[in-house]
């Protein structure tokens, strides 16, 4: 449970960083987008296996939108 709390805290911080932006670097993909982008795939696999919901679109709407835009 402690690890889940740590992930939730980190995702909340990232959610705050996206306010008013399309990507972490602004309107274009930047370094942080690339560094964090692969984690979305990894977390997606963990969500499926462990029946967890890290990228809940209601809890983290900006991260959800960012993830979809980044994957495009």
pLDDT at 49: 84
Q: Are 24 and 36 in contact (CB under 8 A)?
A: yes
pLDDT in tens, 12-58: 999 999 999 999 989 999 998 998 888 777 877 887 887 777 778 89
Q: Where along the chain do its domains lie? A: 1-71
pLDDT at 58: 92
Fold of 1-71: Glutathione S-transferase Yfyf (Class Pi); Chain A, domain 2 (1.20.1050)
pLDDT at 20: 93
10 contacts: CB under 8 Å, gap ≥ 6: none
């Amino acid at each position: 449970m402690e690890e889940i709390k740590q992930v939730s805290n980190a995702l909340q911080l990232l959610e705050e960083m996206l306010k008013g932006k399309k990507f972490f670097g602004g309107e274009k993909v930047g370094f942080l987008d690339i560094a964090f982008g692969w984690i979305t795939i990894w977390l997606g696999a963990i969500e499926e296996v462990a029946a967890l919901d890290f990228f809940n679109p209601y809890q983290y709407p900006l991260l959800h939108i960012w993830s979809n835009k980044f994957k495009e």
